[in-house]
Structure 1
Amino acid sequence: QDRSQLIQVEGLDNLRQALSQGRGVLIFSAHLGNWEVASWAISSFTPLHVVARPLDNPLLEKELLKMRQALGARVISKFLAARPILRALQAQESVAILIDQNVLRSQAVFVDFFGLTAATTPALASFHLHTQAPLLPIFCLMTPERRYLVKIHPPLSFSASKAAEPEALLQITQVLTKMIEQEIRQYPGQWLWFHDRWRTRPADGK
């Protein structure tokens, strides 16, 4: 079926603005609406890589990989992600990461998410500070007409000195997490909350 019959893209100029910087684009989103369909829309305008954890079942993983490739996405395993992400950005391509999942304490910064402290990956903020690839929030929501609305927000950019980087990683990750929270508050029924988002606690237990 023709994409235009299923998908409405809002904010395409924001994607074009991000791409025009010539540094690649770091897309972030959440398990909200249909994030897989977003690939179908975005890959029409930029080569797209998605970072994902391989499924434990190899047969299901094979089928999921085929589906993602059919939707225009190239898949990067989260376990071997750093070099492929940097290569994609150097080639002025786009990389998408969902950042609304719990992570291990050793891999986390702790930010506020719906009023509770949540262990969150700072990887996206780190790639941004080291490459200056713009951060681009994109969400794909189901509409009452049973179509999809892909919302592309304006690109974000931050900078920090080497000495200030640890605090910057925390602050940037907090900004991105709050944007996700705001989107979920608008469409709470479309957030796929399939794990304990707040499972990992800070060392002080707060």
Structure 2
Amino acid sequence: MKKVLKSLIQYPLYIISLLPFRVLYLLADFLYVVIYHVLKYRRTVVRVNLKNSFPEKTEEELKSIERKFYLNLVDIMVETLKMASMSASTLQKRLNITNKELIQNFYNQGRPVMIVTAHYGNWEWGSPIISSLYPDPCMVVYKPISDKNFEQILNGWRSRFGAIMVPMKSTLRALMTNKSNTFCLALVGDQTPVRSETQYFINFLNQRTAIFLGIEKIAMKMNIPVVYAHLDRVKRGFYECHLTTLFENPKETQEHQITEGHTRFLEQIIIKKPEMWLWSHKRWKFNELQGDVR
């Protein structure tokens, strides 16, 4: 029954993904009207998040960011759908990594790389582009969702060019079993930690924010260089990614230095172009908990 249900979802989505980008963006324009104006999807969450993050901005400025965010959101939805059938060459034309040699330089030294990104720009194209450009294994850490049928479909799209999908709780085990000296470990750094693991907070976007410590723990344990991938939109349907080495030798860092580093790096990116971040995410739901605050 589960396989039948999965097929009923998967095959129609694949057929839609075959449509040209120009048609998919017409669909996105329609979705914007439905999601923003009709369904008002998480508008309260978005408005509260924006207002708390940018108390210095006027209502008009916040409303402009809000509208741009939803326009970005629907584009990401159809672009993610396009992953079901998009070729590697098409992906590489539409997402250009400006300094792809940075990763290769670490590989040439026999070192793996940890790539950290966020729910910014079109983050879903990140894992396919890395696995399409480099022959070395690319392990992508993801947070499991309740709808297992959709999770399997989405992970199938993400791994079409060879990426290895790893549930968050299985990250260390996957690293230990990987026998390759050179590999990429890709993580989304702005995930909200589960309540039981919420121990560390910093002031992020003017709010007390629970921060996921897994990136730092893995990097320091295995001394994997931490590289931030900043994906930004150049124009509709086209993106540019710039890689920045944040920490080349994590074992030489102090406690929480890596966590502070990648979080502050993201914060500056969001401030410059806030509409590209995922404001509908309930990022500050654990603010009532006690914890260390920086």
Structure 2 length-normalised TM: 0.61
Deviation of 1:178 after TM superposition, in Å, equals 0.5
Greater percentage in helix: 2
Q: Which runs of 4+ in 1 moved over 6 A?
A: none
Deviation of 1:205 after TM superposition, in Å, equals 9.8
1:116 is matched with: 207
User: 3-state SS of the aligned residue for 1:127?
Assistant: helix
2:169 to 62, 66, 79: 79
User: 3-state SS of the aligned residue for 1:154?
Assistant: strand
Deviation of 1:112 after TM superposition, in Å, equals 2.5
Which whole-Å CA distance do the structure 2 matches of 1:89 and 1:138 have between them? 25
Code of the aligned partner of 1:113: F
Which whole-Å CA distance do the structure 2 matches of 1:189 and 1:182 have between them? 13
Code of the aligned partner of 1:104: V
Which whole-Å CA distance do the structure 2 matches of 1:8 and 1:69 have between them? 19
2:224 to 113, 130, 133: 133
Q: Which has the higher contact order (CA 8 A, sep 6+)?
A: 1
Gaps of 5+ in 1: none
1:5 is matched with: 93
Distance 1:160 1:131, change over 3 A: closer
Deviation of 1:37 after TM superposition, in Å, equals 0.9
Code of the aligned partner of 2:110: G
Distance 1:88 1:26, change over 3 A: farther
User: 3-state SS of the aligned residue for 2:256?
Assistant: helix
Which whole-Å CA distance do the structure 1 matches of 2:196 and 2:249 have between them? 24
In the alignment, structure 1 residue 194 sits paired with structure 2 residue 284: no
Gaps of 5+ in 2: 1-86
Greater alpha carbon shift after TM alignment, 108-117 vs 75-84: 108-117
2:108 is matched with: 20
Deviation of 1:101 after TM superposition, in Å, equals 2.2
1:183 is matched with: 269
Please say if residues 51 and 75 of structure 1, whose CA atoms lie closer than 8 Å, have aligned partners that are also in contact: yes
Deviation of 1:145 after TM superposition, in Å, equals 5.0
Which whole-Å CA distance do the structure 1 matches of 2:94 and 2:170 have between them? 34
1:37 is matched with: 125
Distance 1:127 1:63, change over 3 A: same
2:187 to 97, 100, 109: 97
User: 3-state SS of the aligned residue for 1:56?
Assistant: coil
Which whole-Å CA distance do the structure 2 matches of 1:110 and 1:37 have between them? 29
Question: How many residues of Structure 1 are paired with residues of Structure 2 in the alignment?
Answer: 201
2:156 to 60, 66, 69: 66
Write out per-residue CA displacement over residues 41-69 of structure 1, whole angstroms, 9 at most, x where no aligned residue: 21112421110012211211121121011
Code of the aligned partner of 1:178: R
Larger Rg: 2
Distance 1:204 1:114, change over 3 A: same
Code of the aligned partner of 1:203: Q
Which whole-Å CA distance do the structure 2 matches of 1:4 and 1:204 have between them? 43
Which whole-Å CA distance do the structure 2 matches of 1:36 and 1:71 have between them? 13
1:151 to 224, 230, 242: 242
User: 3-state SS of the aligned residue for 2:242?
Assistant: strand
Identical amino acids, percent of aligned pairs: 24
